[in-house]
Structure 1
Amino acid sequence: MPLLAAHALTLRYGGRPVVDGLDVALPEGKVTAIVGPNGCGKSTLLRGLSRLLAPAAGQVTLDGEDVQRLPAKALARRLGLLPQQPTAPEAVTVEGLVRLGRYPHQGMLGGWSPADQAAVERALELTGTGGLRDRLVDELSGGQRQRAWIALALAQETDLLLLDEPTTFLDLRHQLEVLDIVARLQAESGRTVAMVLHDLGQAARYADHLVVLTAGAVAAEGAPAEVLTAELVEEVFGVPCVVLPDPETATPLIVPRARRSRSVAAP
């Protein structure tokens, strides 16, 4: 499995460092959740790892190779990215969108192969979007649209998949559907997945490995049960809490302490 790693990585926006001297490696064949307070550099880190943002210092390597030196098409055959707010071409169907994931595998002479179609069918099946193949992407609900974009990323058939806030703007049911797809993908194929999440309970439930960021640096990383302590949550997020075992999964469940008492009127 490929190893994606950042080495003394500094990423800037407008001259201001957002990620500063960061070292991190994605565990191979595992799901990593990148968490932290707003503005700490989570999405910026993912953009740096995927080469959408060039380093101001340091480097990102894929199997020891500097990703800045890899040809774009070669990188796209090894690393898939679902950005935070992707934009679909106008009037494209779900199947048409998913077929775009095969672009990195097309040769100079083009030609749609049975292997290309098989990859599209697998991606549609895994994400449950086969019944939507002829629908226009613009007409889909938020959850359906997100699954279609994930199908595009899966059709690339990369061993590495990066997802930037894949549950944003989705209701709870659709959040869980998306995260279940990620879990099934990793379990069936052993792919390396990294995703930016806001919900610590979901991160603990679905990820094998957590990277906790604060102010552009790594505050902690490791297995959720080792990382998510009441002390860390209060230090990084400023939220006093207790950490309990999730009654369904036994993974860490964050319960914020009440900020004020509430009286409940008698019926």
Structure 2
Amino acid sequence: MTVPQSGRKQEYVAIIDQDEVTDEVRNIAVKYDPLNRSGHEGFHVTEHGELHIDDANVLAEHKLIEKKIPNDAIQIIPLPAETGQLVHQYGENGFRLYNLPIPDDGSVIGLLGRNGIGKSTALDILSGSQVPNFGGDGEGPDWNRAIESFRGTTLQTHLEQLRDESVVTAYKDQRVDSLHETEADTVRELLVSRSDDPDRFVNALGLRSILDRSLSDLSGGERQRVAIGVTLSRTADLYLFDEPSSFLDIKQRLSVARTIRSHVQETDSAAVVVEHDLATLDLLSDAIHVLYGEPGGFGVVAQRSAVRTGINQFLEGKLSEENVQIRRHSIDFPSAGSRDSGNNEPALVYPQLEKSFADFSLIVEPGQIHAGESVGIVGENALGKTTFVKMLAGSVTPDSGRVPEDVLVSYKPQYITPDSDVAVRERFASVTDIHAQSFKTRIQNPFDLESLYTRSLDSLSGGELQRVGIALCLARDADLYLLDEPSAFLDVDRRVVLADRIHQFSKRTNRPVLVVDHDLFVIDRVADRLIVFEGEPSQSGYADSSQSMRDGMNAFLSALEITFRRDGRTGRPRVNKPGSQLDRQQKSSGEYYYQD
């Protein structure tokens, strides 16, 4: 047996392509299986004629069967294990990070992986704020030891510069909600106090109109853009961005991606970016490192790969160069033909709704939401999406039009504030019967809540709090469920689970769910139909009735002059480069969101 550095037995998984399984393959697998020969169950044929083996029973010895079969019907792949250079460890039995990503002058390097897998730790080390301790074996953190460990690699020079303080780094933290906790009062004051060129990115990041705004009055998206502007405005050798797309709409995300890339290329500096929005990561990066392992246990930085290759292998769950299965199942994408037509009975019918504030007005055309469907709500920031949701929820009263009062609504707001030290279990017990089997099946198990039950709400991380907020919304007995930006703070794997669980919940309960989100990856998985918001941000917003995914995405993206295509290998949505042949072709055909 192969034993990884941690001393634990290496685990394997069998990947079986049933389309390639012939009678010969079945016979070889069953006959030569060492478990079958010793009286235990290994490879066997199910009552449906499929070749199968339980994951827990797969051994390294099964690779002998893989070698005997005449095709690629069976692959025996190792699951993640601790391997590579141990760089940093938190405490005797704490999280361990293996290897480091490699910055590259003139390039943006993306980091992709689950939360709790070491991405932020890697950024801290590359920025110089964390000195690697190589396992905490008593010698303590030491830059010279780090340099020696990576001697002969591209990292050696960077680590030497960190030791000698001859490299300048600029770091945008993951959290932007504490931006106002500085000595500066306004955006302008912050830029002046922390930037080498305060005005350089004001127009590119859309900050001109908020320069004299108080930092405490900024929205999440405005704080994110200000934080990015402050970081880019510093003269640095290495720029580090931790989740720069959070709270930004799709147009802002793509604009930020282009701005970061352009600056790095023009200055011949380097950048390393942690990002969970795959469309943004795809457009932003020149290459990526996938990180894998056990969240909270260990993380391994895989070899650098081309962007498309790395993202696709991450979604497929197998890293070819590492020969490791990082996920038991691949992440697949729905096709246009698999969308629900939404022909069920209407669960909510609403008239034209209008609402005006001091400097903003909103008009929403009459519409209806059907039972058992998931409806995505898309549009730029500051067009009234949240106002519309709040009108449906009853927390904002329309100036014109009236939402039926007999429809019971459950609402998860955009921002979740953990303003209580109440335990998670108690919070759920206050809204539903947590012992009911239906709750356990539909909510507790899919959202992995049991591990959080004894924690207090104010002790949860952003991602954990988001999961609890979504689950609380769906746990309530209601006729309509409204989720505002549920993907914030979640990694790709969690976003997949989130979207699938929401969609399944809607179908199984026959209740409609409305989802406001800026990640088209999430909207693509969760939505049967779309409500599209257009207009002039912060001035006026307009929404038509709900429409099909194809029509809705075409309307939404055409207004932004952005086209998406499907990746030929995984089916994931990918942004076309503006002016490219595909971009021009899709615009001329009116297919801004190509789905075939």
TM-score, length-normalised on structure 1? 0.74
**Which residue does the alignment assign to 1:182?**
502
Any conservation in 1 of the 2:565–2:576 contact (CA below 8 Å)?
no
For the pair 1:85 / 2:415, whether they are aligned, the reply is: yes
Any conservation in 1 of the 2:379–2:556 contact (CA below 8 Å)?
no
For the pair 1:223 / 2:555, whether they are aligned, the reply is: no
The 3-state SS of whatever aligns with 2:403 is strand
For the pair 1:245 / 2:245, whether they are aligned, the reply is: no
In structure 1, distance between residues paired with 2:440 and 2:471: 9
For 2:557, give the aligned amino acid: V
The Cα of 1:100 is off from its aligned counterpart by 2.9
Q: Structure 2 stretches of 5 or more lacking a match?
A: 1-344, 536-540, 581-596
Alignment of 1:8-47 (within 5 A): 8-14=352-358, 16-17=360-361, 19-47=362-390
The 3-state SS of whatever aligns with 1:57 is coil
For 2:477, give the aligned amino acid: E
For the pair 1:146 / 2:466, whether they are aligned, the reply is: yes
Aligned match for 1:53, one of 367, 376, 396:
396
Any conservation in 2 of the 1:47–1:53 contact (CA below 8 Å)?
yes
Going from structure 1 to structure 2, the CA distance change for 1:13 and 1:193 (only over 3 Å counts) comes to: same
Going from structure 1 to structure 2, the CA distance change for 1:21 and 1:189 (only over 3 Å counts) comes to: closer
In structure 1, distance between residues paired with 2:576 and 2:515: 24
Going from structure 1 to structure 2, the CA distance change for 1:152 and 1:201 (only over 3 Å counts) comes to: closer
CA RMSD of aligned residues (A): 2.7
Any conservation in 1 of the 2:439–2:475 contact (CA below 8 Å)?
yes
| RCO higher in structure (CA 8 A, sep ≥6) | 1
Q: Structure 1 stretches of 5 or more lacking a match?
A: 62-66, 103-114, 261-267
The Cα of 1:148 is off from its aligned counterpart by 1.2
**Which residue does the alignment assign to 2:449?**
129
In structure 1, distance between residues paired with 2:570 and 2:393: 32
Q: Whose radius of gyration is greater, 1 or 2?
A: 2
For 1:167, give the aligned amino acid: S
The Cα of 1:16 is off from its aligned counterpart by 3.3
Alignment of 1:163-182 (within 5 A): 163-182=483-502
In structure 1, distance between residues paired with 2:439 and 2:544: 39
The Cα of 1:212 is off from its aligned counterpart by 0.8
**Which residue does the alignment assign to 2:82?**
none
The Cα of 1:250 is off from its aligned counterpart by 5.4
The Cα of 1:39 is off from its aligned counterpart by 1.3
The Cα of 1:200 is off from its aligned counterpart by 2.6
Any conservation in 1 of the 2:377–2:516 contact (CA below 8 Å)?
yes
In structure 2, distance between residues paired with 1:49 and 1:256: 35
In structure 2, distance between residues paired with 1:178 and 1:258: 31
Going from structure 1 to structure 2, the CA distance change for 1:258 and 1:219 (only over 3 Å counts) comes to: same
The Cα of 1:91 is off from its aligned counterpart by 0.9
Q: How many residues align?
A: 229
Any conservation in 2 of the 1:2–1:160 contact (CA below 8 Å)?
no
**Which residue does the alignment assign to 1:5?**
349
In structure 1, distance between residues paired with 2:397 and 2:514: 19
The Cα of 1:246 is off from its aligned counterpart by 5.2
In structure 2, distance between residues paired with 1:172 and 1:125: 19
Any conservation in 2 of the 1:21–1:58 contact (CA below 8 Å)?
no
Going from structure 1 to structure 2, the CA distance change for 1:161 and 1:172 (only over 3 Å counts) comes to: same
**Which residue does the alignment assign to 2:261?**
none
Per-residue CA shift, 1:38-95, capped at 9, x if unaligned? 111111110111111001111112xxxxx2xx5xxxx6xx321111113344211111
Per-residue CA shift, 1:200-247, capped at 9, x if unaligned? 343122210111111222257422123322x65132x2x332x42355
Larger strand share, 1 or 2: 1
TM-score, length-normalised on structure 2? 0.35
* Amino-acid identity (%): 27
The Cα of 1:33 is off from its aligned counterpart by 0.3
Any conservation in 2 of the 1:100–1:152 contact (CA below 8 Å)?
no
Any conservation in 1 of the 2:529–2:552 contact (CA below 8 Å)?
no
In structure 1, distance between residues paired with 2:510 and 2:364: 30
For 1:6, give the aligned amino acid: Y
**Which residue does the alignment assign to 2:18?**
none
For the pair 1:194 / 2:514, whether they are aligned, the reply is: yes
